[in-house]
Amino acid sequence: MPLPLRPSGACDGCGAAPRPSQRPIRDYGLHSEAVEMVWRDLPQPEGSPPKRELVRQVSQPPQLQLVPCFGYVSLFPLLMQLLPTDSLELGQQLQLLRQEGLLWTSHGLRSLAPTSSAYKKYNTEHDAPYWRGQIWVNINYLTLRALKHYSSAAGPHQAAASQAYAALRENLLRNLAGQYDSTGYLWEQYDDEDGKPKGSHPFTGWTALLTLIASEVF
């Protein structure tokens, strides 16, 4: 069973070590950074041409530790509105949320920071990255809901929450509406670098949250 998220003073997967005012919340569990994709020769009948496949190679077994990756999972205390309005932790999470180069993009919040070792990495040769960088509307909706909550609650972080809410909502609506105009569809996910649609389409599952975001219904 995974253990609770907890704050940490180190941030190996967030780039440079954060300032004391920017302590990320990280998961704690079995993890190894010593994982890579390598080519392996497959046994073939005599006389057959050689055949290879990409496989995961773990050179250091997973150990219980703080996982040095910053992504959607790091935001859940904020998303679930568990942080007191006057807490230091809320201010820290709002700062990290807006930090370009981590989750913040001009198209919405990406699912995993580019500084993470797992960013856009394959699990196997045929198992492409899924929640490893792409923008997902459902988590962005939960983020907006939390920011709306904190922007309406008196406290030292009210203004920062309000500014983050307005900027994130504008980024999402601009990209989602623009891609809909270009393709005629709502899509499962969106690229974090150029905002282009990816995955299944038409996808009016959680991407239909666009209508609630536009209407500010949270």
Whether the ω angle into residue 202 lies within 30 degrees of 0, i.e. cis, is: yes
Quick check: 20 pLDDT over 70?
A: no
Confidence of residue 38 (pLDDT cuts 50, 70, 90): confident
Q: Measure the CA–CA gap between 154 and 26, rounded to whole angstroms.
A: 27
Among the residue ranges 27-31, 169-173, 188-192, 207-211, the one predicted with the least confidence is 27-31
Q: Check if the beta carbon of residue 37 is closer than 8 Å to that of residue 57.
A: yes
Helix, coil or strand: residue 148 = helix
Q: Check if the beta carbon of residue 35 is closer than 8 Å to that of residue 56.
A: yes
- Nearest of 42, 45, 25 to residue 88 by alpha carbon: 25
Separation of CA 169 from chain center: 16
pTM: 0.83
Q: Check if the beta carbon of residue 160 is closer than 8 Å to that of residue 88.
A: no
Q: Measure the CA–CA gap between 120 and 174, rounded to whole angstroms.
A: 24
Quick check: 5 pLDDT over 60?
A: no
Cα-Cα-Cα-Cα dihedral of 202, 197, 162, 73, to 10°?
A: 90
pLDDT score, position 22: 62
Q: List CB contacts of 32: < 8 A, sequence separation 6 or more.
A: 58, 60, 61, 62, 63
User: What average pLDDT does the segment 48-73 reach?
Assistant: 88
Q: Centre a 10 Å sphere on the Cβ of residue 155 and count the other Cβ atoms it contains.
A: 15
pLDDT score, position 171: 99
For residue 179 the two structure tokens come to 């891609």
Output 18 or 94, whichever has higher pLDDT.
Answer: 94
Quick check: 168 pLDDT over 90?
A: yes
Query: HSE on the CB side for 120, CA within 13 Å?
Result: 10
